Every structure is written in structure tokens, then in C-alpha cells.
Amino acid sequence: MNQSSFSRRTLLKTAGGILVTGGLAHASNLMPRDIDLQKNSKDLIFRSTEPRNGEPELAKLVQSWQTPTELFYVRSHAPNPTINPKEFRLKVEGLVRQPISLSLDELRRLPEKTTTATLTCAGNRRSEYNGPEYEDVPKVGGVQWEGGTIGNATWAGTLLANVLKQAEVTEGAKHVWFEGLDRIPKNGQTIGFGGSIPIEKAMHDAGNGAPLLTHTMNGAALTPDHGYPLRMVVPGYIGARSVKWLGKIVVSDRPSPNHYVATAYKIVKKTTPLDWSESGPIYRFPINAAICTPKPHTQLAAGEVELTGYALPSGRSGSSIKDVLISADEGRTWTRGEMTGKTQDFCWQLWKAKVKINPTTKTLVLRASDSAGGFMPARVPWNAKGYLRNSWYRLPIDAG
Amino acid sequence: MNQSSFSRRTLLKTAGGILVTGGLAHASNLMPRDIDLQKNSKDLIFRSTEPRNGEPELAKLVQSWQTPTELFYVRSHAPNPTINPKEFRLKVEGLVRQPISLSLDELRRLPEKTTTATLTCAGNRRSEYNGPEYEDVPKVGGVQWEGGTIGNATWAGTLLANVLKQAEVTEGAKHVWFEGLDRIPKNGQTIGFGGSIPIEKAMHDAGNGAPLLTHTMNGAALTPDHGYPLRMVVPGYIGARSVKWLGKIVVSDRPSPNHYVATAYKIVKKTTPLDWSESGPIYRFPINAAICTPKPHTQLAAGEVELTGYALPSGRSGSSIKDVLISADEGRTWTRGEMTGKTQDFCWQLWKAKVKINPTTKTLVLRASDSAGGFMPARVPWNAKGYLRNSWYRLPIDAG
């Protein structure tokens, strides 16, 4: 998968630069359909390669507030689709008076908006659900993510709200569906990955929370791993709503019936139709945080230890990290961390802290709170699909 | 409201007994439209009387596993409607091949099922959200319930599933709406209280979890406070889904748009259309528990104290209370309670415990866990409507 040469990589970056300024037709000629741009994800630890699911090493992840594309987690449900940018059309249909079909050229000519926002997988930290805390419950399947399925990138594209206004959404519209051009085998059928967001969120047209039809990530064209040529970016919502390889938008009076809205990405105790009906789709992500350095089971001398990590406030306008607290004594006393990144709506925060450990310290415990009343609970209930793990982050260490 | 005489009360009880055995036409003649049966709720502490919202004193509540009707909490959104039982019809419409209109007589002739199940208000313990734990957030409005909006009664009626089968539900059916005959002023309109449950729950036709079209409570006709002549009982779900004064059932492809499904009875941080769209209706109740004796701020001598209370497992078949634990030292050590009621699907459990306190003990703390993996968290996030308060129950005492 990683055969592409450095020259191709350079080419894409240049092309990406051109694309942003509107020269799509030209740029797309430079990108044959079979080009392999997946090198951009080469620094990830791939938990699976078919489909491609990778997360960065935590120590690398927190080296910068803005996450480089090659360190940005990749979550896919099928092989990256091969999309001919010249033939690509984004369709907008459903409860609209003016159905729309837009070429990439046309999309790029729309007013551009740039937003820095954090995406995070609902399954971030999933592997912890299979820890000793949950004895009497089935193992949680799916990709066994550690804490790396989170990243904070700069996205450029055009406002979803503007395209929807152009399509003239009709009165009964309550939800907006997104459909990917990937092809996922599911229950005997082949489906595209689907997302869905409430119309009120879709119509946000100001601030960092406005959903974006995104063609550019960190200043370059999206890579195939990140949804080339077009993806949604829905700040504040779980990554699953930021559908990659976006081909179709449907305006509807209800949430999408797609498997990834109606069935997956829900908090359920059992994977039964009753449990799925009882549980609404997850939209906003809750507060979360992790210790990223040192690594688990690092040998540490008693005394002062320096820690770094990230903390993500709940996905809500005006919500920022209030406190990052670390305990070396299982929660009896807490040391406050110091913010080292930027405070910006819908973005994570980075932090560092110095914590005293003694020879008997076995675990460092992290919790955070935000200005919207969000806090990381000591424990979270088990759920069958292992989503939204945001209990106190526990780092085992070998002190002595 | 309480003018009715003892003789009328006796009459109703007799009538109720007759009704259960099928003699409705006769019985309804005995009940003039203006009869006041609200005396059955006379033992409650009414938080409001227009509409009627009352909960029992906790010490009385846990005197028996089956809650007497007069100690069963009352939650209403409008005055009790006056319903002429002779004219009453339950209508079943929507996605059905055979719309139905049933008189009380006809309903009572259907196969009878009796279920003991606990109902609890989603707002149980709401007043605690206005405690010192939540400083920086708005006060939570609504009825300021303490821990008494819970009760465990025996309900008789007929299976909702059987009536729906008779109506021949069509394939696209996904939700079943309930509409009350009460008249609630809301946003310039007058609406009936509405509920909605997924079709998979509605079609349950076996076990304690099967929803019941209920005409009889604890062996007597429903009182007006509890929905006379007909109410839903949906075991395992928040009380709001057990719609009182039930007049209409609509089978649909989506949840009810009624205010009490689409807007109220949701966990939201803000009461905005965006927040409402992002949050699904609450169905199942989570685990909860309370200390019912002694009362708060009881003077207690240091030594062993006897406590009693209730514990409700999460509303799921096979879920029973595993542990009730009480701490007199803010969670450092815990004493196990002993079950004193029956263990039965969708029912609460009663418990007692002996706990040692010392002269400095200020608070007794209670938590519980159930066999479905449910547990009471130390803290729960604030929500704008004050629902699902199920954090550790804290009883302040005056030790010495």
C-alpha cells in the first residue's frame, strides 16, 4: 500500500495548494485514479489494514497542538474507494426545492472557510473496556483502540449551511444525512458509510462549530485515508459523523437509517433491535483526556515525574478545559496540570504536569473537567460496542 | 378536591372489584362523571395541586414491597380529566390495517394479564440537582421531587401487544405513540400528554416487561390520579411512558412528536432545538436507590444505626440488585445491606442495613449495583431538566 514515491508526495502537496485556490481541473489531471497517497498515514500504528485503521503513538501525538496529517488517526470501514476527481459529484437531495449536483471545481469555487477542530473516534480508548474492571460481561469487539484516535487539524472547505441554503431546504427538514462513496459489505448488502446530524447543527454558519464540506486538511488536499476528495467535518461530534469520501447529502425528516446511525455508534448493553431502538445516535463527544508521556510501565525513580497529555472538552460551543488533575495515590490527592496548547472552541487542549511519586506508586490517574459542566467519571458503565470511554485515565508505572 | 365521602370510596372499591371481573357497563353506571376519587392520594405530600404532583414520605413508602395506591406518587401535567366511562373509547390508528375503537367493556373482555412492576418518575430526586454540588449552573426548575416518585404496584389489564396484533401493524411500524385525554396548555396550544415506545418493546407479550393497557391498580379500578379509566404501564421505562387517561394509540415509523417525547424527558444541557435534536428520548430507567429511614438530620447516638430503603435495578429483563452498600466515611469503607423484599423482574427491591457511625459522621452515603452492570455513579452531570438523578444517595445526619 505504500509504494508511492517522494516525488508523488511532493506533487500532491503542490496540487493541494493549487486546488485550494481553485485550480481543480488542472490538479485532478495530475492525479491518476490509482495514485497511492496513503503514505501520509505511515507514522500510525495500524490495528488493521483491510480496512485501514491506525492511531499514532501517544508520545508523538502530543508533540504539537495541530496534528500533522501523518499522525492523524485513520478510521475506515472498507478499503479506500478510488474516486475519479473529474467525474466526482456531490449530490444534495431529499427535502430540498433545488436538488444540487456539484463538481469539485464548483465546490472549490464556493466561499472558503477554514476551521481548526478536533475529531475523535467514539471508540477512542475502547481497549480499556476489556480490562479487569469489567469481569462479568462479554469482551468488546471492534478495533481495539488505545487513546490515539483523536487529532486536531485545520480543515478548509465550504459551509454545509450555505450549500443547504442553495438547495432550499423545505420546512419538514429535521436531519441531514451524509453518504460515503466507500463500499462496505454489511448484512449481505454493500453500503456506503452513513452519517446524520440534526438540521439545527447542519445550519450553523458561524463560529468553529459550523459543519464544513472539507477538501483540504492542514493545507493540502485530503489524502485517501482521510476521505479524498471530499469529507464532512462536523466539529463537536464524534468522528463517525464526519463522513469521508462524501458523495451524497440527503435532507430528511428523520435520522438516517444507515447502519452506522441506526445501529452502530450507539450506547447499548445488547446488540438487539430493542436496544438499538431505545438508544439515540451519539452526536456530541463528551469530555475526555489521556496521559501521553511517559509510556505505560515506564521505569520511574521515586520523586517528581513530568507528564504530558491531551484533554478534550465536551463538543459544545464555549466549552473549554477547566481542570486537568493527576493523582499518584488513587484519587486521595490531586495535582493540577498546566495548559500548553491553545484554548479554542471545539479543539483539544494539551497539558503538562509534574507529579510526585513514591516507590509504591503503581498507577497515575488522570481526570479533567470543562467549563460546560463536563467531567470524567471515575467509572463508566460497560457498553456492548465500547464507545465513549472517558472514565479516569489510568497509567500503570513501574516506580522504584 | 377531597369532598367525597367514605361511602363513595367503598363504592368505588367494590366497583373496581366488579370491573376486573368484567362487569363494566354496570359499574360505570355507579360512577357519576364528577365523582372525586382523589382521596386515594391523600397520604402524599403534594408539591403542587394544580396539577396534582405528590410523593409519599419515604419512611411510609418502604413499609411494604407492594406500594398501596394511596402511597403511590402522582405525576400530572394538567387537572385530572373528567371521563365518562360509558362514552370512553380507546382508538388504535396509524400504521395498522385494522384501526380499532374499543370501549371499556370490550377492553375488559380481552384476556387479562396481571403484572407487578415499579414505576418511577424521570425526575425522581430532582431537587438534589439544586444542591451545592452544582455551583456554576442554572437552577433546575420543575417539580422539586425528593426520592419518593417511585412505587411498586400490581397492575391488571390486557397486553398492548395483543391489541396491536388485532390492529394488524404494518411493516414500516417502528414506534407506538400514546396520547392522554388530559388537556395541557403548552406553547399556546392544548395537548394531551404523549408518550412513545419502540415497536420492539410494544410487541413484548410475555414476562414482566410486557406493556399493559391497564384498568386496575392493586386490585381496584384506577383512581383519577392514576389515569382512570385506562393507562399504559410500560415496565422498565420511565414513568412518563406509562401515559395516564390513555385515549389513543398511534402506530408510526418514528417517535411521537408530542412535547413530552420530542422535547421534555430528555437529557440536555440547554433547552434549545439543537440540544433536543441531539438527545434521544429516555426510555429505560437506570439503577437508583435511596435511604428512606431515618429521616435527614435525625439525631443519632454514635454506634450502630439501622437503615432501610429501596433500590431499583435498571429497567431490563433479568436485572436484579446485586449490592446495596452504605458508607459512613465518605466512601472509604462500605457496609453491605440485606434484601428484605422480593426479587422480581422490573420491580424494586427493599433493603435494610446496620451501619456504625461515630460522633463525627455527618453523612451516610448509599450506592447500589445490579446484575446488568448498572451502578450508581459518585456524581452525575447536571442536566437542564433535572432527570435521572442516580448518583450516590447522601443522607445528612446529626451524630453525637
Cβ–Cβ of B281/A280 closer than 8 Å? Answer: yes
What is the C-alpha separation between B48 and B55, in angstroms, rounded?
10
- Over residues B315-349, the pLDDT tens digits come to 999 999 999 999 999 999 999 999 999 999 999 99
Confidence (pLDDT) at B29 = 35
Dihedral (CA of B309, B313, B318, B320) sign = negative
Mean pLDDT value of segment B51-78: 97
- Give yes or no for a contact between A342 and A64, defined as CB atoms under 8 angstroms apart: no
Mean pLDDT value of segment B103-131: 97
Instruction: Lowest mean pLDDT of A43-57, A122-136, B284-298, B356-370, name the range.
Output: A122-136
Mean pLDDT value of segment A10-17: 31
Mean pLDDT value of segment A68-86: 97
User: 495535582: which residue's cell?
Assistant: A335
Torsion (CA) B177, B181, B186, B190 in degrees, nearest 10:
120
Of residues A382 and B7, more confidently modeled = A382
Q: How far is A256 from chain B (nearest CA, A)?
A: 12
Cβ–Cβ of A278/B374 closer than 8 Å? Answer: no
Smallest Cβ–Cβ distance between A280 and the set B279, B284, B377 belongs to B279
Give yes or no for residue A35 having a pLDDT over 50: no
| Averaged confidence pLDDT in chain B | 90
* DSSP output for A172-193: T--EEEEEES--EEETTEEE--
Q: Name the strands in the sheet holding B74-75, side by side, starting at the edge strand that comes first in the sequence.
A: B45-49, B52-55, B74-75
Cβ–Cβ contacts within 10 Å for residue A205, how many?
Answer: 14
User: Position A193: which residue type?
Assistant: F
- Give yes or no for a contact between A224 and A38, defined as CB atoms under 8 angstroms apart: yes
Question: Residue B140 — very low, low, confident or very high, per pLDDT cuts 50/70/90?
Answer: very high
Question: Residue A135 — very low, low, confident or very high, per pLDDT cuts 50/70/90?
Answer: confident
List CB contacts of B252: < 8 A, sequence separation 6 or more.
B94, B95, B173, B174, B175, B176, B177
Confidence (pLDDT) at B39 = 53
- Give yes or no for a contact between B178 and B90, defined as CB atoms under 8 angstroms apart: no
Cell, residue A206: 458561524
Mean pLDDT value of segment B345-372: 97
Q: How far is B257 from chain A (nearest CA, A)?
A: 11
Instruction: Lowest mean pLDDT of A125-139, A377-391, B288-302, name the range.
Output: A125-139
Confidence (pLDDT) at B399 = 87
Cβ–Cβ of A198/B278 closer than 8 Å? Answer: yes
Cβ–Cβ contacts within 10 Å for residue A101, how many?
Answer: 11
Tell me the chain B residues in contact with residue A284 when contact means C-beta distances shorter than 8 Å: 278
SS3 B291: strand
Question: Residue A40 — very low, low, confident or very high, per pLDDT cuts 50/70/90?
Answer: low
Domain boundaries of chain A, sorted by first residue? 6-278, 288-399
Q: Which ipTM did the prediction report?
A: 0.87
List CB contacts of B385: < 8 A, sequence separation 6 or more.
B123, B140, B141, B142, B264, B265, B266, B267, B268, B271
What is the C-alpha separation between A9 and A32, in angstroms, rounded?
13
Confidence (pLDDT) at A136 = 77
Confidence (pLDDT) at B136 = 77
User: 452526536: which residue's cell?
Assistant: A283
Give yes or no for residue A4 having a pLDDT over 60: no
Residues of B with CB under 8 A from a CB of A: 134, 136-137, 174-175, 198-201, 253-254, 269, 272-274, 277-281, 283-284, 316, 372-375, 377-379, 381-382
Tell me the chain A residues in contact with residue B374 when contact means C-beta distances shorter than 8 Å: 381
User: 477542530: which residue's cell?
Assistant: A117
Give yes or no for residue B26 having a pLDDT over 60: no
Give yes or no for residue A321 having a pLDDT over 60: yes
Smallest Cβ–Cβ distance between A278 and the set B254, B284, B377 belongs to B284
- Give yes or no for a contact between A73 and A148, defined as CB atoms under 8 angstroms apart: yes
- Over residues A107-134, the pLDDT tens digits come to 999 999 999 999 999 999 999 999 888 8
Question: Residue B76 — very low, low, confident or very high, per pLDDT cuts 50/70/90?
Answer: very high
Mean pLDDT value of segment A47-52: 94
Residues of A with CB under 8 A from a CB of B: 134, 136-137, 174-175, 198-201, 253-254, 269, 272-274, 277-281, 283-284, 316, 372-375, 377-379, 381-382
Question: Residue A399 — very low, low, confident or very high, per pLDDT cuts 50/70/90?
Answer: confident
Fold of A6-278: Sulfite Oxidase; Chain A, domain 2 (3.90.420)
Confidence (pLDDT) at A39 = 53
Cβ–Cβ contacts within 10 Å for residue A59, how many?
Answer: 12
- Over residues A158-182, the pLDDT tens digits come to 999 999 999 999 999 999 999 999 9
Share of chain B above pLDDT 90, in %: 87
In 3D, which of A304, A300, A320 has the Cα closest to residue A312?
A: A320
Question: Residue B132 — very low, low, confident or very high, per pLDDT cuts 50/70/90?
Answer: confident
Confidence (pLDDT) at B10 = 31
Mean pLDDT value of segment B344-368: 97
The three-state DSSP-derived secondary structure of A35-72 is CCCHHHHCCCEEEEECCEEEECCHHHHCCCCCCCHHHC
Which pTM value belongs to this model? 0.89
In 3D, which of B193, B213, B210, B192 has the Cα closest to residue B201?
A: B210
Smallest Cβ–Cβ distance between B373 and the set A198, A199, A381 belongs to A381
- Over residues B202-259, the pLDDT tens digits come to 999 999 999 999 999 999 999 999 999 999 999 999 999 999 999 999 999 999 999 9
What's phi and psi for A7, nearest 5 deg? Answer: -65, -40
Mean pLDDT value of segment B358-362: 95
User: Position A306: which residue type?
Assistant: E
Tell me the chain B residues in contact with residue A272 when contact means C-beta distances shorter than 8 Å: 200
Fold of B288-399: Immunoglobulin-like (2.60.40)
- Give yes or no for a contact between A154 and A168, defined as CB atoms under 8 angstroms apart: no
Torsion (CA) B348, A383, A323, A308 in degrees, nearest 10:
150
Cβ–Cβ contacts within 10 Å for residue B21, how many?
Answer: 10
- Over residues A336-383, the pLDDT tens digits come to 999 999 999 999 999 999 999 999 999 999 999 999 999 999 999 999
For chain B, the straight-line distance linking the first and the last C-alpha, in angstroms and rounded, comes to: 44
Cβ–Cβ of A378/B378 closer than 8 Å? Answer: yes
Share of chain B above pLDDT 70, in %: 90
What is the C-alpha separation between A168 and A99, in angstroms, rounded?
8
- Over residues A284-320, the pLDDT tens digits come to 999 999 999 999 999 999 999 999 999 999 999 999 9
Tell me the chain B residues in contact with residue A375 when contact means C-beta distances shorter than 8 Å: 379, 381
